[in-house]
Amino acid sequence: MRALFDRQTRNLQRAVAVGLAAALGLPPAAFAEVTEVQIARGFAIPHLPIMIMEHDKLLEKHALAAGLGEVKVIYSQIGGGSVMNDALISGALSFGVGGPPPMLTLWDKTRSGIQVKGVCAEATMPLLLNTRNPKLKTVKDLSEKDKIAVGAVKVSIQARLLQMAAATVFGEAEFTRFDPLTIGMNSPDASAALRSGAGEVDTNFSLPPFQYAELKIPGIHTLASSNDIMGGPHTFTMVYATGKFHDANPKTYQAFLAAIKEAIATINRDKSGVARTYIEMTHSKESVADIVAILDDPLVHFTMTPTGTIKFADFMYRIGALKNKPNSWQDYFFEEIHNLPGS
């Protein structure tokens, strides 16, 4: 009922805006829509949809088709959920990207304000907890002697997965057991630290393609997969935005959805071409064949449909990281994708 009321309110606001624009002799789009869009992306394969959007200028294409004219799109690389969230709250970003936990944190905190929600998923794929410590066989063996690289301490998807693992192995009251072992690092730096064998980081909750490159180094092995911790596949990366931007820019928002949908279709249709684009944009040292092998992995899916996100939400609510318990995944995603078979 509340969702219906909110939609009716937004529709009324848009109708008022259009009426005022008409009274002033302005075209409706010119009254409300932005002419510049700021989009962030991460460093690796999970963010391929945004990379393809950037490379192929897909948002510009769909904005033009929607009658928005020449929209300037600015892309930036941001590592870490807390930095991403700060940029979104400040208005420096139109669309942020990251794992479900950082988005859920922001959704919970902004329900009575700018109302951050998910736009869509980007990728469903496992993260691997890799280590060079030969004494570690499972997560049970982690101790104060180990240092684990994660995207951001306590709040990133890797940090939440470690908390979930600790809760499963040692009991929910012990969910923070591994928090003191974590160090916030971006993915390239964390992977380089693990592979080099220098420094204090001996374990990395990694992601593609870095996690596979790490396993090629003698002595590095996997302690756990995020799919094992979650009990199945889960969304790794997703897009989120503020309700303020969503409501004020309906055509731009729809253009974004059309652009990311086309980008995902391109990834699933032309993996070799996409692999070359990825290498070009990231200056990756992996071969085209290496990237294609990752894209062909049956556990790797690029999709707008959220998967398993409610498991993160339920866990975060139980440990007190969320004050509000969502009833379903649709509570924290905008209504444009509610028709998808999400979870």
54-108 residue pLDDT tens:
999 999 999 999 999 999 999 998 766 667 778 888 889 999 999 999 999 999 9
At residue 268, what is the residue type? N
> Residue 271: is it exposed, middle or buried by C-beta count within 10 angstroms (0-12/13-18/19+)?
middle
Q: What is the pLDDT of residues 154-179, one digit of tens each?
A: 989 999 999 999 999 999 999 999 99
Check whether the bond before 209 is cis (ω within 30° of 0): yes
Q: How far apart are CA 102 and CA 122, in angstroms?
A: 15
pLDDT class for 41, splitting at 50, 70, 90?
Answer: confident
Residue 152: per-residue pLDDT: 86
Entry pTM: 0.88
Biggest CA pair distance of the chain: 73
Residues with Cβ within 8 Å of residue 19, at least 6 apart in sequence: none
Q: How far apart are CA 308 and CA 240, in angstroms?
A: 16
Residue 80: per-residue pLDDT: 61
Residue 85: per-residue pLDDT: 78
Which domains, from first to last, does the chain contain? 33-125+234-337 (3.40.190.10), 128-230 (3.40.190.10)
